[in-house]
Amino acid sequence: MTNTYEDKTVLITGGTGSFGKKMGRRLLDRGVGKVIIFSRDEAKQHFMRVEFADPRLEFHIGDVRDRQSVDHAMGGVDMIFHAAALKQVPSCEFFPLQAVWTNVIGSANVIESAQARGVKSVVCLSTDKAVMPVNAMGMSKALMEKVAQASAKRSPDTTVVSSVRYGNVLYSRGSVVPLFVDQIMHKRPLTITNPDMTRFLMPLEVAVDLVEHAFNNAEPGDTFIRKAPASTVADLAEAVRQLMDAEDSPVQNIGVRHGEKLYETLATIEELRHAEDMGDYWRLQMDDRGLDYDQYFSEGEEQDLTSAEDYHSHNTERLDVQGTKDLLLELPEMHQAIAEWKAVRG
């Protein structure tokens, strides 16, 4: 099997985050020539530089909102994993224009810069919240997907631009599992918004696999999703309590936060009609029609949607508490948290 990354130069925007660090490790293990970490936080870059201690890592301070700084990082790049984003739902609700600047305009800067320099492939990281969005973060990510598809339509022969969607990445920065662990460590109640709320669950390793799958299989404008299980928030909290041997830690319902849904959707009926089932993945193909809609004024397109439904966290494989525990035990961070809690308790 050919090594895709050997001697290549790969740019990761937002590269000091959970995804960037995991992907960076994988690239270095595969013999990559250079990994360019592009982000705006010099402290995180410093800690990552010390942690990795690999001369193939090159760090660029910059912001995807600033096209010039993006251009400066683009020299000699073969492929890009675009992970830079504002991702917290509540903060995007209060500052929606900031979400637009980073998630929409910043993404356009990355894509257009890549196309101008003949980069082979750009994979943009999206989210289930982009499907039928009810919050500013999801809306801005949905627009990012549209920007990627529009760019693919305009210049399909220069750079393959594609996207991936996934749900909650377990133990990523700012996610709920490390919050539960921290609450147990500090002997505070585990806070949940609605016990019946469901969320897709995906280990970070699987999310990285999805992004690699997109790079290796994408046609211009494709969006890939990984089929994934889900659990209720209540079962997720209970799974963490049992694994930490902290069943005496209370659970507190705090109510639904700004912009939250009862369940998240990864693909709509309409998208699945044209999707390619690739086993563990779906390839969602973009609508590549032009702007001439005359043919649809008098005659539309036939659609049989009688037996179809959206793919969401209420109708995917549902994990019970034990199944959720088994999934959490795949995470090295969970084992570390359990060991630290045992040491604290003596």
227 flagged as catalytic: no
Alpha carbon of 156 to those of 80, 145, 218, 220: distances in Å? 16, 15, 12, 6
Q: Is 162 exposed, middle or buried (0-12, 13-18, 19+ CB in 10 A)?
A: buried
| Residue 247, amino acid | E
Spatial distance between the Cα atoms of 206 and 99, rounded to a whole number of angstroms: 26
3-state class (DSSP) for residue 279: coil
Spatial distance between the Cα atoms of 77 and 97, rounded to a whole number of angstroms: 30
Catalytic residue, chosen from 34, 129, 141, 261, is 129
Contact 171, 240 (CB under 8 A): no
Contact 11, 77 (CB under 8 A): yes
Contact 169, 149 (CB under 8 A): no
Alpha carbon of 224 to those of 120, 121, 125, 280: distances in Å? 18, 14, 10, 10
Say how many CA atoms lie within 13 Å of 91 toward its Cβ.
9
Alpha helices in 186-255 (DSSP H): 204-217, 233-243
Spatial distance between the Cα atoms of 207 and 266, rounded to a whole number of angstroms: 14
Among 163, 148, 198, smallest CA distance to 282 is for 163
Greatest C-alpha distance within the chain: 75
Active-site residue list: 129
